[in-house]
Amino acid sequence: MSASAEPILASDAIVHPYSRKKVRLAVSLFYFGQGLCFASWASRIPDLKSALQLSDAQLGSILLALPLGQLLTMPVSGRLTTVFGSKRMLTIGAPLYALALTNLALANTGWQLALMLFIFGITGNLCNIALNTQGVAGESYYGKPIMTSFHGAWSVGGFSGALVGLLMTSLHASPYLHFCMIAVLAFVHIGINYRYLLEAKKPVQQEKPKLFTRPQGVLIQLGIIGFCSMATEGAMFDWSGVYFKEIVKAPHALVILGYTSFMIMMATGRFLGDKVIAAYGRKRLLQVSGVVISSGMLLSVVFPYLIPATIGFMMVGVGVSGIVPMVYSIAGNNTKVAPGIALAMVSGVSYFGFLMGPPLIGYISALSSLRYSYAVIGCFGICISLIVAKVKAIR
């Protein structure tokens, strides 16, 4: 069977009265909303840092509370999504995520901000697992690959949140007012679109789902692929500006060019990725993506000048754009493990890459230079291609 004719198999029978287009739009808006909330928080970090008079070291320690909340909730989120369904969990989790965002601005001390970030991480993970499970169901219902466009909607939400944050800062609006406005928008969107989410009709289970399930080998392999991709993403998010400033020696006004070019191409790749998957299949696209990541990194390392480095960062953005959505789609369609639990396993391994990528850059840079750090990160692309070649579940 050709890649273009390969069907998307649903893990459960989908029962739904609404059109595919309405379902796709609703799920996309939930992805957009989560990206908007996260970027809104990120855009006001400098203001909250100043308001609480935190040092760089203190802020760095406090920021770890968010991923800690996400990681500790991974197995619980998967089980809850499996037991109660992704629609119910997303309908509950999305409003809680918006409320948790507003609470961040109420912190008066460092430990309060850390606690609020921990809660923000917990609610974010509840949304993340339920949302990606809903995305897998939406892809099954639609009948063709659309998962990367869902993640593209998250990227657009991230862009929008950053722009709104820039506007709020320029207007000297308080973070609390800013976050409340975003929360109101989130509640309106949830109230309108929750009805279009998919209900999965689950088969009768012989066993009660366990809190901790032994991961399958294929899920670990998919998690490692996600790890390599998210480690690269983390390195680009946190260090691209430093790379352009210290290595590329870009003019002050163009220091942000590397990050911007990466983000634009990542979003573009996600909106175009579904058509490429339908034409060539996930396996081939994943292998090519790994090569593109390594080639882009190599270009920016060997030729650390403004134009080639920008082109290299654009290539990396295209390379990583579809990897995580494809990995999640494959995991969610696993026939031996419930989608919520499978996604929790894969995203748990993948997310370690997002956490470890930026520190790895810093450690290698301290021992040698930032150029060598990026060269090491570039090796992750080759690792992706090699692993994909051995995973039979990827077609």
Rounded to whole angstroms, the Cα distance separating 309 from 298 reads 9
Residue 45, pLDDT > 70, answer yes
Residue 379, pLDDT > 80, answer yes
pLDDT tens for residues 61-120? Answer: 787 788 888 888 887 888 899 889 899 999 999 999 999 999 999 999 999 999 999 999
Residue 205, pLDDT > 50, answer no
What pLDDT is attached to residue 178?
A: 95
Q: What is the pTM (predicted TM-score) of this model?
A: 0.80
Distance of CA 67 to the CA centre of its chain: 12
What pLDDT is attached to residue 3?
A: 38
Task: Name the residue among 104, 145, 166, 181 with its Cα closest to residue 270.
Answer: 145
Backbone angles phi, psi at 213, to 5 degrees: -115, 135
Over pLDDT 90: what percentage of the chain?
Answer: 44
Pair 339, 11: CB distance under 8 Å = yes
Rounded to whole angstroms, the Cα distance separating 37 from 98 reads 7
